[in-house]
Amino acid sequence: MMAYENIIFEVEADVGIVRFNRPKALNAINPEMVKELDDALSKVKADSNIRVLILTGQGDKAFMAGADISQMANFDTLQLRRFSRDLHEVQFRLEGLPIPVIACVNGFALGGGTEMAMASDFIYASENAKFGQPEINLGLIPGAGGTQRLPRLVGKGMAKELCMTGAIISAQEAKEIGLVNKVFPHELLWEETMKTAGILVSKGRVSLMFVKRCVDRGLDMGLRDGCFMESDAFGLCMASPDGKEGLTAFLEKRKPDFKGGLD
């Protein structure tokens, strides 16, 4: 079993929690953290009791302040490319989880921090949070999906502006451009994130999985193909134990008790 030194992984009330745990380095990501996150995602996927995953940063200052430049500066071209590819792979694994993933951004989320948050299903942020893709200031470009996920969330022009200027924006600005879903006072962020996680835990696993899958895959399809995919998923939900329970509970005027798995 892998011992974690760069993240903390725990489970609370059917909610998996990953805390990036390098507070002295503002939780900057390095190759070791990527490996540990990948291992934690394997545990999340294997545990059917985990219904939601939350990503956050240890401490009050940072969610993840980008890549660890002190390490990255010593990489050669192939090592830097490998680091980028490994980041992409762990983010694809994150997006591929069949459960909702919430990024709870409690401070700086710069470079890889913004990119990691964007690989979640949606982002809740503290009023203190800051977002940006400042790689251009180092003579680089985003290397963990910034040029790809950002335009899908905020549009081509805004994404180019942020990546080309390296501007750091506030949580409220991030909300206004569609990067962040909600902004809360810092002291209420965790409570509000867990409140939403509790709502998601009460929903059917199958329907949550298909919402995530249809939205994510549909963005890469034409409208007609996406709608056909939705019809297939709609039918499969109806055939699942959760679908039958939901309809029965509605007719019986009671709250549904969803227990369906994903097998």
Alpha-carbon distances, residue 61 vs 72, 125, 196 (angstroms): 22, 12, 23
CATH number reported for the structural domain that contains residue 237 in this entry = 1.10.12
Does 258 have pLDDT greater than 80?
yes
What are 58's two structure tokens? 């240890």
| 214 and 148 in a common domain | no
Rounded mean pLDDT, 162-186: 98
For residue 152, pLDDT beyond 80: yes
Q: Is 12 considered catalytic here?
A: no
Three-state secondary structure call for residue 86 = helix
> Is the pLDDT reported for residue 90 higher than 70?
yes
Same domain assignment for residues 152 and 52 = yes
Same domain, yes or no: 160 and 235: no
Q: φ and ψ at 107, to 5 degrees?
A: 180, -140
- Annotated active-site residue in 10, 36, 135, 176: 135
> What's residue 261's pLDDT?
64
C-alpha–C-alpha distance, residues 82 and 47, integer Å: 29
Q: What does the pLDDT average to over 212-231?
A: 95
Query: Measured between alpha carbons, how far is 181 from 94 in angstroms, rounded to an integer?
Result: 18
Q: Let me know whether 191 and 212 are in one domain.
A: no
- Residues 56, 181, single domain; the answer is yes
pLDDT value, residue 239: 87
42 membership: H or E segment, kind and range: helix 31-46
From the list 5, 12, 95, 115, the catalytic residue is 115
CATH of residue 87's domain is: 3.90.226.10
129 Cβ neighbours under 8 A, 6+ residues apart:
63, 105, 106, 107, 108, 109, 170, 171, 174, 180, 183
Average pLDDT over residues 171-177: 98
Q: Is the pLDDT of residue 42 over 80?
A: yes
How much is the average pLDDT of 103-115? 97
Residues 197 and 157 in one domain: yes
Average pLDDT over residues 45-74: 93
Using DSSP bridges, classify how beta strands 15-20 and 101-105 pair: parallel, antiparallel or unpaired: unpaired
Number of separate domains in the chain:
2
The domain boundary residue, chosen from 181, 201, 221: 201
- 122 and 214 in a single domain? The answer is no
Residues 49 and 87 in one domain: yes
Q: Which of 31, 116, 142 is nearest to 79 (CA)?
A: 31
β strands within 129-224, DSSP E:
130-132, 168-170, 182-184
Residue 17 counted as domain residue:
yes
Query: Could you tell me the residue range of the domain that residue 101 belongs to?
Result: 7-201
Q: Are residues 69 and 164 in the same domain?
A: yes
Q: Is 32 a catalytic residue?
A: no
